[in-house]
Amino acid sequence: MMKVYKISKDKLKAYLSYLLNKGYSIYGPVKTTSGDVIFSKIEDPEHFVDEKSTNGPKSVVFPEREIIFRYREGKIIEEKSDERRILFGTRTCEIEGFRMLDDVLLKGKYKDISYERKRSNSIIVNFACTKACKYGFCTTFQGPKLKNGFSLQFIDIGDDYLVEAMNEELIVPEYFTEASEEDIKKAEENINNVYKEMEQLPIKDIEKKIKFNDEIWNKLGNYCINCGACNYSCPTCFCFDVYDVKIGNEILRIREWDSCLLEGFSRLAGFNNPRKDNASRLIQRFYHKLVYHKLNYGYYLCTGCGRCIEQCPVNIDIRDVIKYFSGGEL
Ligand code: SF4
Ligand code: SF4
């Protein structure tokens, strides 16, 4: 059963130091010298910031590029790590992405062992958002607060964080005290403010309204420069490529993220390509998010994180596509 605590913001860095001293590897949002916030390993608690990162935690459990195994002298050597990991300061849109990745990579006919190892080794300390972010539209989907799938969930209530604890694994009496009814009410108010601040999109039945043959795809296709940033920044995109490389006396099997917006994504043997132009690749991206995944899994493959909007250099915006097919204009 979930218990509710609180922790003073003044104690947060000391708590992080405590966890580091306990031998956990901690990953979370840190501010770089250029001012960007990126999700990476935290060596010094002072570097942690309670902000949504540009990249999110996906690459910790599903790296951009990883060696799956090495083949040397007739033997297959698997890449394994026994790192005890905490993902500290994740956002709800990112962990909802994990839930979607789990459905695809762990619950199908075949299990992705590499992903499973990293995922099961990762303890989630989520920070529910109490302010609407610039491009996000999470209230169209799951909202800013997780219902499950975390060990701890922090909610900003002013000088303190309210802390929802699914288990006691990371609860240390020195840092946490009991929360009052007033604290719980304040947290609810702060979460509700996000619903008030954020635009709700007309997502209902979008899979029945979206059209394959529509001028919008050519319009957007004229702008897309196939950089793949929308896919690479998305917490729910899971397409990858696998290839072998020979280095010295070893062969490495490597898995690397792929992107449906790249020209080579759908290229077949003999150089046939059913998705030669930008328009057809954009149709694939939006149909996967808004139609195919809904038909296969019962929900849209999007958590409303807004990263694809923020990252796209030519301002292609999934919110505009949803509104357009719901009767709006582009
Ligand atoms: S499609 Fe865009 S808004 Fe939706 S989860 Fe992916 S990056 Fe976020
Ligand atoms: S981020 Fe924008 S320009 Fe880049 S591939 Fe995606 S839609 Fe195209």
Nearest CA to ligand 2 atom 1: 312
- Phi and psi dihedrals of 28, rounded to 5? -170, -175
Locate 316 and state its tokens: 């292609």
- The number of the ligand nearest the C-alpha atom of 307 reads 1
13 Cβ contact partners less than 8 Å away, ≥ 6 residues apart = 45, 46, 48
Q: What is the pLDDT of residue 325?
A: 97
Q: What is the largest CA-CA distance in the chain?
A: 67
- Which amino acid, residue 140? T
CA 312–ligand 2 middle distance (angstroms): 5
**For atom 7 of ligand 1, which residue has the closest CA?**
234
Kindly report the protein residue whose alpha carbon is nearest to atom 4 of ligand 2: 227
pLDDT at residue 91, as a whole number: 98
How many helices, marked H, and strands, marked E, lie in the chain? 12, 12
Residue list, ligand 1 pocket, CB within 6 Å: 233-236, 289, 302-308, 318
Nearest to 265 by CA among 302, 228, 234, 295: 228
Pocket test residue of 291, 308, 315, 319 for ligand 1, highest count of atoms within 8 A of CB: 308
Q: DSSP letters of 64-127?
A: SEEEEEEEETTEEEE------EEEEEE-HHHHHHHHHHHHHHTSSSS--HHHHHHHHTEEEEEE
319 Cα–ligand 1 center, Å = 10
Task: Please check whether residue 84 is in contact with residue 21, taking contact to mean a CB–CB distance below 8 angstroms.
Answer: no
Candidates 94, 157, 141; CA nearest to 122 is 94
- The structure tokens listed for 25 are 């590897």
What's this model's pTM, rounded to 2 decimal places? 0.95
User: Best of 302, 310, 320, 321 to mutate for ligand 1, by most ligand atoms within 8 A of CB?
Assistant: 302
Binding site membership of 158 for ligand 2 (Cβ less than 6 Å): no
Per-residue pLDDT of the chain (330 residues; tens, 9 = 90+): 899 999 999 999 999 999 999 999 999 999 998 999 999 999 999 999 999 999 999 999 999 999 999 999 999 999 888 889 999 999 999 999 999 999 999 998 999 999 999 999 999 999 999 999 999 999 999 999 999 999 999 999 999 999 999 999 999 999 999 999 999 999 999 999 999 999 999 999 999 999 999 999 999 999 999 999 999 999 999 999 999 999 999 999 999 999 999 999 999 988 899 999 999 999 999 999 999 999 999 999 999 999 999 999 999 999 999 999 998 777
Question: Is the CB of residue 293 less than 8 Å from the CB of residue 285?
Answer: no
The pLDDT value given to residue 150: 98
Ligand in closest contact with the CA of 312: 2
How far apart CA 52 and CA 144 sit, in angstroms, is 12
pLDDT of 329 reads: 73
pLDDT at 82: 81
Nearest to 92 by CA among 137, 136, 128: 128
Of ligand 2's listed atoms, the one at least distance from the Cα of 282 is 7
Which residue, by CA, sits nearest to atom 8 of ligand 2? 224
Q: Could you tell me how many residues make up the chain? A: 330
Q: Quick one: which ligand is closest to 311's CA?
A: 2
